[in-house]
Homo-oligomer: A and B are copies of this chain.
Amino acid sequence: MDAMTTLAPPVSTPALMEAVAAVSAAYFLDFAAAAGRHGLSSSQAKALGVVLEPVPMRALAGRLGCDASNVTGIVDRLEGLGLARREAAASDRRVKIVTITDQGHEVLLKIRADMTRAHRALDSLSEEQRAGLLTMCRQLLPLLGN
């Protein structure tokens, strides 16, 4: 039994949610700003990260958490910028596979390298928030079958 365990009491759910919200908000704003500096919307940049591995349009919608009809426009614009491309699937001719291009890969790496504020956001968490995240991880692990 270490000191951390004794110091991390049953953290209230609100405190835990605050910690996650604080980190998430900082991360999202940072991500959107970094994408914008490289001429992409956050949705486009997020999609670019998903298609690092070739993904069907439908599955991409699932990963982005939006309806399939939206993916058409998002991939249209990425394709127009030369950052991704559609390819026909061999097994099912209804399916189109989205793949990142070399140029897209370069842009994605630049965006990720640009993200630094999220680091500082996590560093600047209050001790209660930090304890909340720690407790969350400890509670989730056994529930996830670990």
A interface, CB within 8 angstroms of B: 2-5, 7-8, 10-13, 16-17, 20-21, 23-24, 27-29, 31-32, 65, 112, 115-116, 118-119, 122-123, 127, 130-131, 133-134, 136-138, 140-141, 143-146
What DSSP secondary structure best describes chain A's contact surface?
helix
**Is there an interface contact between B130 and A12, defined as CB atoms closer than 8 Å?**
no
**Is there an interface contact between A122 and B5, defined as CB atoms closer than 8 Å?**
no
Copy number of this protein in the oligomer?
A: 2
**Is there an interface contact between A4 and B119, defined as CB atoms closer than 8 Å?**
no
**Is there an interface contact between A145 and B32, defined as CB atoms closer than 8 Å?**
no
Residue numbers in B under 8 Å from A122 (CB-CB) = 11, 16, 20, 140, 143-144
